Structure 1
Amino acid sequence: MIETIDEAGIAVLRLNHGPVNALDLELLAALPGALADVAGAPAVVLTGAGRCFSAGVDLKRIVDGGPAYVAEFLPALSTAALALFDHPRPTVAAVNGHALAGGCVLAAACDVRLMSAGTIGLTELAAGVPFPTVPLEIMRHAAGPVADRLVLTADTVDPAAAHAAGLVGAVVAPEELLGEAVRRAGRLAATPADVYALSKEQLHRPTRQRIDAGRPLDDPRVLELWSSPATHAVLREFLASLARR
């Protein structure tokens, strides 16, 4: 589900979960543990197996599992994203293909993002579901003013447009992506660990404060909407429209 590989001393976590690395409860539950297992590594690279980084939430599981599954899934999504966002050592996303919705959020939770192929964006509103506080604030931190457009239009963009918007730091040829991500992670890891961790904490503090203030207000409403019969009807139609393409 998550493969751990040592590349020149850097821990590479590779999502390997089905054809598009869709985010379900099991994958999200595994990510914090995988990060804890490599806590001693100087840096972490997150990438995907196959043709996708991650195509986002497994919406079929949401529909099939109903409110009980949603009640477990949404907290797991926030916990996984925060585990990556809060990881004290350098984190680099090697976006090897589509990074959509929750997949985009996981990439955004990393300190540096490199991209070689596919599209990246936030498709939640196209599917008819709102954002929990944690993913939304992580996107605001990573994308700045561009986050408004990404959220409200559900647009997806190619690597060049993502770079122009500042969503990714560089566009890299597919055959060079992992090597470049490892090299950049190694350069970041040259900073003393305690200095890097404190600097990262300082940069993330405004986001963490917004998360702490917003979750009690917003997350109950998000859970209600994700669980509603009307939302699940929209999700079924959205899935059917994808199948027709």
Structure 2
Amino acid sequence: MAWDTIRLDIEDDVATLTVDRPDALNALNVETLEALDEALSTAEDEDARALVLTGAGEKAFVAGADIGYMQDLTTPEAQAYAELGHRVADAIETFPAPAIAAVNGYAFGGGCELALACDLRVASERAVLGQTEIDLGIVPGWGGTQRLPRLVGDELARRLIFFGERVDATDALEYGLVGEVVAHDQLDDYVADLAADLASKPKFALRAAKDALNAAREGSQSAGLAYERRVWSGLFGTHDQREGMKAFVEKRDPTFE
């Protein structure tokens, strides 16, 4: 299949999925999310033994969700958008092979959440990550409130989400938000070698290992994710959500209640 906003390349059992909206810093609009959902299914059908997720261009992995689209959503519309974002993140997390996020630039909001859904995260030295939703009058809505604490610990996750802090690659590595940092011009080759190594491992053993690791941390995550979807969409229509997103689109500081 061909999509306008993403690319899927499958070679030597490795599926590389690239969000291809560099002029929009690879922001995730509905079309792109739906394409990602379809492409992940295609990669699974093609029996890919490793998955790489990255962004096109020199600036962004995925700079977040489409704020221009979100700013006027009603609560039911926001719920549907949350469901779509969750479906994509869940598809990455449950993909039947290891998934690697090649974080080559900005990874904010929904972009950070897609990276969190991957099994491994390798960052360029230029990468900057963060759950920045608080300054838009909302909270992470695609899994961030559940996956981030499991990765970096409760206290740090609260600080990152409460303050909307953006962290560079060095701090992200120290926090455990990424597993490795490499030179920007070496990222693609490094991740390609990593994915090739994973693809050479026993397929069914890798799948079993991933399933077991996911099960070990599952607990009440599904309930937490459902709650997150409700609270995220419930913020749409509030003054702070409208003001935060309008200010972003208008490139000014927001005035919250």
- Fold-level similarity (TM above 0.5): yes
CA contact 1:134–1:211 (8 Å) conserved in 2: no
1:148 Cα deviation (Å)? 2.3
Distance change (3 Å), C-alpha of 1:237 and 1:207: farther
Distance change (3 Å), C-alpha of 1:134 and 1:158: closer
What is the match of residue 204 of structure 1?
A: 214
Return the letter of the residue paired with 2:118: C
1:151 Cα deviation (Å)? 1.2
Equivalent residue pairs, number: 244
What is the match of residue 192 of structure 1?
A: 202
1:157 Cα deviation (Å)? 1.1
CA contact 1:109–1:142 (8 Å) conserved in 2: no
What is the match of residue 104 of structure 2?
A: 96
- Say yes or no: does 1:31 pair with 2:36: yes
Distance change (3 Å), C-alpha of 1:115 and 1:230: closer
Q: CA RMSD in A?
A: 2.2
Distance 1:46 1:94 in 2: 6
Q: Secondary structure of 1:164's partner?
A: helix
- Say yes or no: does 1:11 pair with 2:15: yes
**Further displaced range: 13-22 or 219-228:** 219-228
Distance 2:102 2:225 in 1: 29
Identity percentage of aligned residues: 31
- Say yes or no: does 1:82 pair with 2:67: no
Distance change (3 Å), C-alpha of 1:33 and 1:151: same
Q: Secondary structure of 2:127's partner?
A: coil
Distance change (3 Å), C-alpha of 1:34 and 1:167: same
Return the letter of the residue paired with 2:214: H
**Further displaced range: 197-206 or 32-41:** 197-206
What is the match of residue 79 of structure 2?
A: 71
Distance 2:228 2:26 in 1: 28
Distance 1:109 1:177 in 2: 19
Q: Secondary structure of 1:21's partner?
A: coil
What is the match of residue 145 of structure 2?
A: 136
- Say yes or no: does 1:43 pair with 2:47: no
- Say yes or no: does 1:237 pair with 2:247: yes
Q: Secondary structure of 2:250's partner?
A: helix
1:54 Cα deviation (Å)? 0.8
Distance 2:217 2:188 in 1: 29
Aligned with 1:181 (options 177, 191, 199): 191
Return the letter of the residue paired with 1:16: D
Distance 1:190 1:202 in 2: 20
What is the match of residue 22 of structure 1?
A: 27
Distance change (3 Å), C-alpha of 1:11 and 1:30: same
Distance change (3 Å), C-alpha of 1:177 and 1:8: farther
Distance 2:40 2:123 in 1: 21
1:216 Cα deviation (Å)? 4.5
Superposed CA deviations along residues 44-78 of structure 1, whole A, max 9, x for unmatched, are: 11110012101101111012444454232111111
- TM-score relative to the length of structure 1: 0.89
Distance change (3 Å), C-alpha of 1:172 and 1:7: farther
Unmatched runs of 5 consecutive residues or more in structure 1: none
CA contact 1:48–1:96 (8 Å) conserved in 2: yes
Return the letter of the residue paired with 2:69: R
CA contact 2:136–2:243 (8 Å) conserved in 1: no
Distance 2:49 2:218 in 1: 24
- Say yes or no: does 1:109 pair with 2:117: yes
Unmatched runs of 5 consecutive residues or more in structure 2: none
Aligned with 2:69 (options 53, 61, 71): 61
Distance change (3 Å), C-alpha of 1:37 and 1:133: closer
- TM-score relative to the length of structure 2: 0.86
Distance 2:237 2:225 in 1: 17
- Say yes or no: does 1:228 pair with 2:238: yes
